[in-house]
Chain A
Amino acid sequence: MAELIAIKRTHEKLDMQAEPMIINIGPSHPATHATLRFVTELDGETILKLDPEFGYLHRGFEKECEASTWTQVIPYTDRLNYVSPLANNIGYAMAVEKLCGIQVTERCQYIRVILCELNRIMDHLVCISTNVLDMGALTNFWYFWAPREEIYKLLEELTGARLTTSYTRVGGLAYDLPDGWTERVRTFVRGSILKALSDVGALLTKNRIFIERTQGVGPITAEKAIALGFTGPCLLAAGVPLDLRKDQTYMVYDRFDFEIPIGTTGDTLDRYMVRMEEMRQSVRIIEQALDQLPGGPVNIDDPRFMMPRKEDVYGNIEGLMNHFKFIMEGVQVPAGEVYDATETANGELGFYIVSKGSGGPYKIKVRPPCLNMFQGMPHLCEGQMIADLVAVLGSVNIIAGELDR
């Protein structure tokens, strides 16, 4: 308040507009990249107060899940973080499998790791390229869009879709890898992605314009980041080495050699650096996973969770009945409650599931990683310039699909 009065006095002396100006940004604005809204209170170009608002993409994900079978939820999870849909598929499948006590096959776990890391790369490529695009650096956008397109081609070949992958099943995957797919992934991680990273790194990392635009912009301390519930690259940038892949290791992440990059000041530049390094580490993980990839089935052998073979469905009455019950009633998941979290590109994606022992969930709560970052926007931006709002917003990577559910 005292600040405001002081500003008012200065303005009166200079015969300028004395009241702070209210500016509305969004919900449909090119720099928000999603339907988000900010009500900003400005003194000149300085942000005095920032009020973020969301919910424009709310589509009742959780209500819809309560009326679906366990398998029908999988397509909905594609639409959570639509920049890295497979990571959501896998997070959900893992939570249900934990509830059922299923241990998926080794091959399935390796494939899931490879897909998670490809998705992490994809997500970071989008985040960094659109972030610097908002700051006026268009070239990087194209340098990153090309390898992203290659990943999309790989995923399309694997799942049949670019965005709506719906690739996991409770207890396995929809299909095994196509022939030669692993080789194409290897070519990709050895070639174009590394080239793109070094190209963009050369353009940005030591670029004085970029550094001045990002260093000290939207900083956060480790304590404040933890109190606000930050996870993922935004928390790493603040200097807290929290990565569930290491700390509460899941799937087969304990078998790979990789490192967790951390920053110091938690500003936009640190977030960029962390993401760039995470992509390099993802490349390392993928290479190791491809080397170790075992053979064998991708699905568990359990008729309670897997669809009967087509020969049985058409060949005998039990198979047909099984198939009918499977489709009409869904997988039967034991009663109980479970929370399972995975480290996705944005941070901790958690699923809290309550089952009453029927063919569908009683409750599903998604813990979207970017909600905390969006909540922290006032803390990151207040006292900074309005042009920096755009830089910070891009660097915390808000995805409205998972934010609004």
Chain B
Amino acid sequence: MTEERKSLVLEKLSSRFGAAILATHSDLGDDTALVARDKIVEICTFLRDDTDLLFALAIDITGVDYIDESPRFEVVYHLYSIEKKIRVRIKARVPADDPAIDSVSGVWSGMNWYEREAFDMYGIRFNNHPDLRRILLPETFVGHPLRKDYPKKMRQPTLGRGE
């Protein structure tokens, strides 16, 4: 029963968006879809509003730095449907020379800060974000610490006064 339901998400996505769904898997029971980055807002709106899915609660957004792969960065979205009690993970790859993707903070207002955090930590830019600035680190911080090429032992002054 749950197995059928779970694949329903991926099936619906594939039939609706076709070529924009680049890959899917359900390893360890986590339904996952890798999607084209230019379709992300459309896909998220569909997931939120489709009456069979209703992913009204966005859980998390984060980045992953696959430094040896191309495209280098992955933006990972975790969604939960309160109504249907199912989860889905949406991923989109963005390249190192243009790490940008459209913001979904218009779809779920709670994702605003998660996108800011991904920007802060990985330098991924979210287009049309209302307020894209650093969130955990000070404005004077240089670089993006969770990138794999940022040395772990690097130290920066924490109480800069800016200009």
Contacts and interface: CB of A to CB of B under 8 A. Distances in A.
A55 B27 contact: no
Chain B CB within 10 Å, residue with most, of A101, A363, A365, A376: A365
Chain B interface helix/strand/loop/mixed: mixed
Interface stretch (B13-21, B38-46, B109-117): B109-117
A334 B138 CA distance: 36
A62 B146 contact: yes
A58 interface: yes
B87 A339 contact: yes
Interface string A223-244: 0001111110000000010100
A63 B28 contact: no
Nearest to A59: B136
A8 interface: no
Interface string A119-163: 000000000000000000000000000000000000000000000
B82 interface: yes
A63 B145 contact: yes
Contacts of B110: 227-230, 372, 375-376
Interface string A197-234: 00000000000000000000000000000111111000
A363 B64 contact: yes
B60 A228 contact: no
Contacts of A242: 57, 82
Contacts of B138: 55
B152 A352 contact: no
Contacts of B112: 375
A265 to B, nearest CB: 19
A228 B136 contact: no
Contact of A58 (B60, B137, B152): B137
Contacts of A99: 28
A67 B148 CA distance: 11
B59 to A, nearest CB: 6
Interface in B74-117: 76, 78, 80, 82, 85, 87, 89, 108-114
A339 B145 contact: no
Interface of B: 27-28, 30, 32, 56-60, 62, 64-65, 76, 78, 80, 82, 85, 87, 89, 108-114, 121, 135-138, 145-146, 150, 152
11 contacts: A55-B136, A62-B146, A227-B56, A248-B85, A336-B28, A339-B87, A352-B60, A354-B64, A365-B60, A365-B62, A371-B114
